[in-house]
Chains A and B, each alone.
Chain A
Amino acid sequence: MQLETKLVQSGVGKDERTGAINFPVYYATAYRHPGIGESTGFDYTRTGNPTRAILEEAIAAAESGDSGFACASGMAAIHTTMGLFSQRDHIIVSLDLYGGTYRLFEQVLTRYGLWFTYADLRDLDAVKSAIRPETKAIFVETPTNPLMQITDLREVALLAKEHGLLTIVDNTFMTPYFQRPLELGADIVLHSGTKYLGGHNDVLAGLIVTKGTELSEKVKFLHNTIGAVLGPQDSWLLLRGLKTLALRMERHQSNAFAVAQRLLEHEAVTEVFYPGLSEHPGHQTHASQASGYSGMVSFRVRSAEQVPVVLQNLKLISFAESLGGVESLCTYPATQTHADIPQEIREYVGVCDRLLRLSVGIEHPDDLTADLTQALDASLVTGGQLR
């Protein structure tokens, strides 16, 4: 069965009593036991909830994994997964990375004796030389946020396997519709379900998908014990989002191509980062491991002074944190998503104060390019001194 079909059919036929096409939202926290030592399969909602279970099955199937786990937020999914590791364990992480993940690693988990090396995962030798006896995992974002750097997932997963490391992939930008890291050798896939999977900027959620029984059991234990689980209403909203994932991703992508093209042509823009462009340095690698390029486009303007003018003049595109929704959003990573990364690291990586990130929505492409054009034009007039 194709992914689109699987996604649309999530939960259908599962409510046998009523035949409801959409699985109901189970608000119950507790489940009546038939007797001592007997269970219906559900005991307490933190441990398992019927609505959440449908979502967890759906994402596991979509990612070709064995088990799925729904968490309160993307960060809760990452945090829960990191519970696999213990004091003194070492993890290699994408150098370009979502700021919230960096903050969790550097400001919370280091206090528990976990340690992290940030490496350019495009360079396999750099990854190899970062491996130490204490290394337990490689944490990958591809494309990275916000610079769209591409990591060869097959090669990294192979290297990890050789060294007995887990490969953990944050697949938020691509979704299983375009990229399925578990099929390429990864062990765990993570999602901020808030983004494309939910897709409507209306629900916070995180997802974990694991491969293998042993790993699945471990994550199941952590999911229940740490308790950062997703509520039933939010699980249902996410399921609802999943049903239109394929349609939305196609539209996000075609709009992103239109936007990237327009940005390339505009004189206020110096660089455009979109893996779908053939001149993008990771284009070939990405094309070999994913079936599409999604809807995230970053670009640099000529000077930092232009940034506030662009943001102020955008009419259709909202200036807001987050991505992956039907509405187009523009983010300024330096002060928003990546504010917790120290400035010198940010600039070294390339997340400078001229960088803007677009989450291209599903509006008509002409309206989006027109909005961007007028805002960029205005930045050339009032942004003053270029260079």
Chain B
Amino acid sequence: MNFATKALHGVSCFDPVTGASSVPIYQASTFHQADLDAPGLYDYARSGNPTRHALEEAIAVLEGGARGFAFASGMAAISSVFMLFSAGDHIVVSEDVYGGTFRFLTQVLSRMGIEVTFVDTTQIHAVENAIKPKTKGIYLETPSNPTLKVTDLAAVCRIAKKRDLLVMVDNTFMTPYYQKPLELGADVVIHSATKFIGGHSDVVAGLAVTKDEALGKQLYFIQNGMGAILGAQDSWLVMRGLKTLKARLDVGTRSAERIAQWLSQHSAVKHVYYTGLCTHAGHQIQVNQASGHGAVLSFDVGSRERAKAVFDRVRLPIVAVSLGAVETILSYPATMSHAAMPAEERAKRGITDGLIRLSAGLEDTEDLLRDLAQALDVLQTLRISDEKKTFSRA
């Protein structure tokens, strides 16, 4: 079954009791037990809720894993997965991870005795060099946020397998429609389902899928034990989003490709980051391991002042934190998604003060291009040398 069909007819897509075309929302916290010796399918909604369960099964099928789990947010999914490790363990992490992940690792998990090394995972030897005797896992984002660096998933998984390390991949930017890390050798896939999977800027949710049942059991224990689960109504909204994932991504990706091409020829733009551009350093690996380039791109206009001028002039995109929605969203990583990262760490990762991230929505591409054109026009009067003034202010 192809992706689009599987998303609609895979599993849990209708209610087995009534045949209803949409799984009902079980707003129940507890379930009556008919017999002390024969516990029912569900007992307490933190441990299992039929609506959440339907979503968990659906994502497991789409990612090609054994078990799926739904969490209260992408960060709840990430923090729960990291609880698979214990004090004394060491984890190798992509250096340009999402700012919230960076914050959790450096300010919460570090206090629990877990050591993290951030490396440029696009360099396979750098990953190998970072592995220590107590290393237990590798955590990847590919393409990374916001400069879309591409890590060779199969290559990293081969190294990990040799040393018995767990590979975790944040697949938020790609979704299983474009990339299936478990098929490339990863052990756990994580999503901020708030983004493309939910897709409508109306629900905060996280998902995780394990490749095998044994790891699934461990993660289930943590999900139930820590309790950072997704509510029934929100589970239903995410499932509703899943049904149109392919259609939305097809459109968003097409627009992103056009916009990236157009921006890369614009004189006011210093650099464009999009894996679909053949000049992008990770283009070839991306083509090999994913079936699409996604709807997110970043571009650098040179300085904070120039970025601000663009934000002040655009009319169509929502200026906001988040991405992956039906609406085009423009964000400013330096103070939004990566605000939790110290300035020097940001600079190291190319998250400059001129960097703007665009998540292409479902608006007409020509309308988006016209809007960006009028906003970028203003930069003709602002020289890139204004950068210095901005840096001293920051």
Contact = CB atoms under 8 A, between A and B. Distances in A.
B29 A228 contact: no
A30 B320 contact: yes
B221 to A, nearest CB: 7
A43 interface: yes
Q: Which of B35, B112, B198, B311: most chain A Cβ within 10 A?
A: B112
B221 A107 contact: yes
A44 B329 CA distance: 13
Interface string A339-381: 0000000000000000000000000000000000000000000
Given A203-B231, A231-B233, A322-B44, A72 B36 contact: no
Interface string A14-57: 00000000000001111111011100000111100000000000
Interface in A267-286: none
A46 B194 CA distance: 10
Interface of B: 27-37, 43-46, 49, 71-76, 78-79, 83, 86-87, 100, 103-104, 107-108, 111-114, 194, 198, 201-204, 206, 221-222, 225-231, 233-234, 237, 304, 307-308, 311-312, 318-322, 325, 329, 332, 335-336
8 contacts: A30-B201, A72-B71, A86-B111, A111-B87, A226-B79, A230-B231, A237-B27, A320-B30
Interface residues of A, number: 68
A301 interface: no
Nearest to A44: B321
Contacts of B31: 320-321
A108 B307 CA distance: 45
A291 interface: no
Contacts of B45: 194, 204
Contacts of A231: 72, 203-204, 230-231, 233-234
Contact of A225 (B46, B100, B335): B100
A226 B228 contact: yes
Contacts, number: 216
B307 to A, nearest CB: 7
B231 A320 contact: no
Contacts of A36: 304, 307-308, 311-312, 319, 332, 335
Contacts of B335: 36-37
Given A79-B226, A87-B87, 4 more contacts: A29-B198, A72-B71, A108-B225, A201-B30
Interface in A61-104: 71-76, 78-79, 83, 86-87, 100, 103-104
Contacts of B114: 112
A45 B204 contact: yes
Nearest to A324: B29
Nearest to A235: B231
A76 B329 CA distance: 30
Contacts of B29: 194, 198, 201-204, 322, 325
Q: Which of A198, A225, A308: most chain B Cβ within 10 A?
A: A225
Given A35-B319, A227-B76, A204 B112 contact: no
Nearest to A222: B108
Contacts of A75: 46, 225-227
A227 B225 contact: no
